[in-house]
Amino acid sequence: MKKNFVSLAVMGAFLALGASSALAAPDWNKVAKANINLFHPGAAPLEWVQGKGEHSGASGLKKGETCAGCHVEDGKLSLDLKRLASKEMEPKGAPKTMSYPVTVQAAFDASTLYVRLSFKAPAGGFDHADKENELKVNVMFPNDKVPLGEQAGCWASCHQDAKGMPSGKDKTKYVSAGAMDLMQWKSGGGGKAVDGVVAEHRVMEGGKAGVTAEGAKAGDVWTVTFTRKLAGGVNLAPGKAVPFGIAIHADNAAGRFHHVSFGHTLGLGVDGDVKAAKQ
């Protein structure tokens, strides 16, 4: 009888744990959707964005304006995509699809953030160097110490001396101060989550956000869902809007041959470009 009691108690504990885990997952049918348009940036690093005579928004950045504030109007991109695809901005070769939308949903509970991205990943890219991964999906969160982190999003980590740039060397993405949490899902090998950090250089492991991720493709639509702790390397506090950026490598692309978003805001129970629903 005593053994049966212990067994039942243990079984009950596992059932309770399973029920708790199941309840933690958001009902995505009830979570609001926001569309964010990604684009291929060409070989345009942060230094070009800040340069005199090359980018008319450089003075705006000095005043505290955001890239999205000038280049996103009513949810649509206001960009010269033909220029970004030109030899001036993309000396190696631009993808056939320069821009496409991503549907973003988010929710949070007492300890966890959930982010869901749905999109049709374009083919016709110039670069197919990543033979192992048809797709890589990245979401980055800069802390308040990253220069231009709130204004430029993950673009604040892209510099002209990074490998893959026309004048690049052997550096990865980096920031001169502060850090960015990097969460990634890559499709190869059945799918894998990455919990990384971008600081003085980029590392694809050792992050403190406890990132998990899963992805699937239905027809021509990919859906990738991330979870991370609110209290990660970059703390995400309910009641605040936090900056974030998205980058997607489609069609086996590697390096800078991706599509990126401008810096956007994620509101945890408050207004933002994406508003996370409280669970």
pLDDT at 58: 82
pLDDT over 90 (residue 39): yes
Q: What is the pTM of this model?
A: 0.90
In the structure, what pLDDT confidence band is assigned to residue 275 with cuts at 50, 70 and 90? Answer: very high
- φ, ψ at 133 (rounded to 5°): -130, 110
pLDDT over 90 (residue 111): yes
Average model confidence (pLDDT) across the chain: 90
pLDDT at 22: 40
Helices (H) and strands (E) in the chain, counts: 6, 15
In the structure, what pLDDT confidence band is assigned to residue 54 with cuts at 50, 70 and 90? Answer: low
Which H or E run contains 228?
strand 221-229
Please choose, from the candidates 162, 151, 254, 250, the residue with its C-alpha nearest in 3D space to the C-alpha of residue 200: 162
CATH for 32-278, among 3.30.70.3270, 3.10.350.10, 3.40.50.620, 2.60.40.1190?
2.60.40.1190
Please choose, from the candidates 249, 261, 241, 244, the residue with its C-alpha nearest in 3D space to the C-alpha of residue 224: 249
Average pLDDT over residues 162-169: 92
Cα→Cα distances 139→21, 30, 183, 245, Å: 23, 22, 5, 6
